[in-house]
Structures are given as C-alpha cells and as structure tokens.
Copies of this chain bind each other. A is one copy, B any other.
Amino acid sequence: MDMDSALEALLSVVGDDLRLVNDAIVARMNSSVALIPQLAGHLITAGGKRLRPLLTLAAARMCGLEDAARPARLAACVEFIHTATLLHDDVVDESMLRRGLESANALWGNKASVLVGDFLFARSFEFMVEDGSLKVIRSLCNATSVIAEGEVLQLMTANDTTTTEDQYMEVIRSKTAALFAAACEVGAQAAGAPEAHEKALYDYGMNLGIAFQLVDDYLDYSARQAELGKTVGDDFMDGKITLPVILVFERGTDEEKAFLRRCLEDQEMEDPKADLARAIQIMAKYDTLGETVTRARDYGARARAALSSFPANPARDALIGIIDYCIDRAH
C-alpha cells in the first residue's frame, strides 16, 4: 500500500467522524480574546494530517463503537494537547519552519506562543472533564505529564554527546510516543472495550509513536526532508542528540567523535553547511541513518503485533496500514 492510500484508507474508515472533530476544535478554540483563535487557528486549521485524532477515532471503531460523539471530543482533546506542545516547542527551539509555514513563534513572538499554548492545554482538560470518565481523564492527564517530563529530559540531553541510547529512547517515548499511546487507549476506553484491548491499543500507539519519531530523527539528516517542505539539519544546528548521532559515538573514530563534539556540544561550527555535510558523510560511513530506519521498522512490527488479538476488520487494516505510512515517510 503506498503512503497516500494508507491515509485514505484510515480516512474512509472514520468517515464523517473527522468532521465532528474539526467542529469541536473550531468551537473550543474560540475566545473573545481575538489573538487566541488567530494564533491557534494558524496551527490547527492550517494543516496537519490529524494523525493523532484519526488514531482515536479508528481505535474506537475497531472496538465496535458506532457513535462517534465521545471519541470525536477526545480526538479534539488530543489534537489540542499536540498543538499546545508544538507552540511551546516553537518557543524553546526557535525553529523557524513548522509544517512548511512560518512558525507561530516567528509571526507572533514568544509571549503569545507560550500563553496560547497554555490556553489550549487548559481547553484540552475541559474536553476531558466534559467526557466525564475518570479513567479517560487519568490516561490523558498522565500523557501530558509524561510529555512535559520528556521535553525537559530532551532539553537536558541537548548538547550532551554522552547521551546514551537508553536516555534517547526515554526522551522519544515520553515526548512523542506517550501521546500516540494515549490517543489510541482513550479510543478503546470510550468504546468500553475490555482492559486487554485498552492495553493492546496503548501498546500499538506507543510502538507506532516510537517508530514515528525514529523516522523523524532520520529525516532530519535526509534529503527526503527537503521534499517534505522542512529544512534539513535542524537537530544538528540545535545540538539535539538523536540516534543517528549516538550510533556514531558507538562506532566512530576518535577524530570523528571529536568533530561531532565540537559541532554538537561546543556548538562551534566553522562552516555550518560544510559541517552538516561532513556529519552526514560520517553517518553514511557507519550506516547509522539506515539503522535508525531499521529500528523504526522493528517498532512498527511490534505495533502490528499488538493488534493481532483484534479480529480483522477495515478499522484494524487501516491502523496496520498507518504503520507503513509512518515508516514510508523515510522513502
């Protein structure tokens, strides 16, 4: 299945449910404070494939729930959490490109990004409270807490070239995969699915999220990234320590490691473009980029295995198709 058809299969499974999500998002983004819908709308309505909300909707369907009212509200909640995280990420990373548009931060400034992010977090909690299930509230609440911890951990490992694979995995599990996991889990919870199914969907989301972030970290050093409308080498310039770099520290020569230390730890770039090109060359020598994608495939296989206890149906097929979709972004 190619990339676009995987996404289309997922969209056709959830049908009109996605419109309910979009309506909930627009309604709840509103505020008499004009800057809020302006800035939040820039991110939320302008784009994104709504991947996380789609997971919630499809998970609920796979668990047999026909009425999409609850999962749609929870899907909107998940998208708000995700968008709030992006807004706060823009502040902290000073990234100038987000989804190919100028970042909200560049357009409106740090102040607005922090505060509108806070507003979206608060509204996401209102969605949870409206849902009213303490189980659901617990899952989503826990996810936001783990995300925040992951973001701080990422900040601490930035520029630290002694970062281990374990620490890196902890960061991506927390900052990215925890929300994928919760998005899927609350779909099952909204459907009143048995606990084994909740857990299976949590595992699916967690492994999918890890695969997704591994591919993201691969893409940052890949020519493919430019085709997707994003700059190459952001992580390198920010001194983020991701798997393609960590693997070089396990395999490279002293001279190669000293070079990376200068760029990533000391942030001393003589010629940033040339330094980036040399870093990519070293990664190619040890195939650390290829290995990052291989690991993404491993986690993809675990995500697939997590769904094995569900009977075959279009929603399950679509959720399996989306694993390939996430990994095939690499090509």
Residues of chain A at the chain B interface (Cβ within 8 Å): 31-36, 88, 91-92, 110-112, 114-116, 118-119, 121-123, 125-126, 129, 132, 134, 137-138, 141-142, 144-145, 147-149, 151-153, 155-156
Chain A, interface SS category: helix
Which chain B positions have C-beta within 8 A of A144? 118, 121-122, 125
Chain B nearest CB, measured from A131 CB (Å): 10
The CA of A122 and the CA of B153, in the complex, are separated in Å by: 15
Are A115 and B31 CB-contacts (below 8 A) given A122-B144, A125-B144, A134-B129? no
B-chain residues with CB within 8 Å of residue A129 when the two chains form the complex: 134, 137-138, 141
With contacts A92-B110, A137-B137 taken as known, whether A152 is within 8 angstroms of B35 at the C-beta atoms is yes
Chain B residue contacts of A151, Cβ below 8 A: 115, 118
Copies in the complex: 2
Closest to A171 in B: B33
Q: Are B149 and A126 in contact (CB under 8 A)?
A: no
The CA-CA distance from A126 to B143 in the complex, in Å, is 11
15 CB < 8 A contacts A-B: A33-B156, A34-B156, A35-B155, A36-B152, A91-B114, A92-B110, A114-B114, A118-B147, A118-B151, A119-B145, A121-B148, A122-B148, A125-B145, A129-B134, A137-B137
10 further contact pairs, Cβ within 8 A, besides A91-B110, A112-B155, A123-B145: A32-B149, A35-B156, A36-B149, A88-B114, A88-B115, A115-B155, A118-B151, A119-B152, A122-B144, A125-B144
Query: Once the chains bind, are A111 and B92 in contact (CB under 8 Å)?
Result: yes
Alpha-carbon distance between A141 and B132 when the two chains are bound, in angstroms: 13
Question: Which residues of chain B are within 8 angstroms of A91 by Cβ–Cβ distance?
Answer: 91, 110-111, 114
B121 with A152: CB separation less than 8 A? no
Complex interface: chain B residues within 8 A of A147 (CB): 118, 122
